[in-house]
Amino acid sequence: MFHKEGYKIIIIATFIVGIGILAIDKLVELVWLNKLLSLLFLGIYVLILQFFRNPKRHTMINDAHIIAPVDGKVVVIEEVFEKEYFNEKRMQVSIFMSPINVHVTRYPIGGEVVFSKYHPGKYLVAWHPKSSEDNERTTVVIANKTAGEILYRQVAGALARRIVNYAKPQMQVVQGSDAGFIKFGSRVDIFLPLNAVIKVNLNDRVKGGEQIIATL
């Protein structure tokens, strides 16, 4: 199953790879080189397919739980001053996605979208300390009756050149459902109340849409 954001790229890639392999077969006479180039084309095609995969996730909806919005590696757990929306201290948990991770963004909590903003910016590597403030990014805040307001931020990385964000103000969203997509490497930051109990450690690998990263 593939994400809808990848349909156009997959169709174009299928066409290019098909034409490329036919051209190699016609033009390259050396058998070993013919096979090598064909395998290279197929390898790139497989990478594109796996990047846009969209596996089903089974979310146990719970307003006291914050679930991982993406697959990836926990690279930040720290108390920070969040200055875009809250203007107060929050616990930040950041998850880095490599190009081989599933890149679907899922809502970490259900509720009403009260803030959604896109910021153009740089393309520093996603684990850079300044990427959360300087890179292209979107900021979304969800208000939940139990958890209060939870902010998450999609951050573009060095390879990412398009962030897709489905959250719009006044939308009612369901925990674990599709919130967007970031193409080709990125990270997501979640800003939680200081009393949140963090359930992950640095360098943990988490599973978006299912794994609990904090409780309230």
Distances (CA, A) of 20 to 8, 15, 93: 18, 8, 43
Q: Tell me whether residue 186 is one of the annotated catalytic residues.
A: yes
Nearest Cα neighbor of 175 from 137, 196, 147 is 147
**Residues in contact with 78: Cβ distance below 8 Å, sequence separation at least 6, in sequence order:** 91, 92
Annotated catalytic residue, options 94, 131, 132, 186: 186
Give the distance from CA 145 to its chain's centroid: 25
Q: Is-contact 78 202, C-beta < 8 A?
A: no
Which residues are catalytic, by number?
Answer: 186
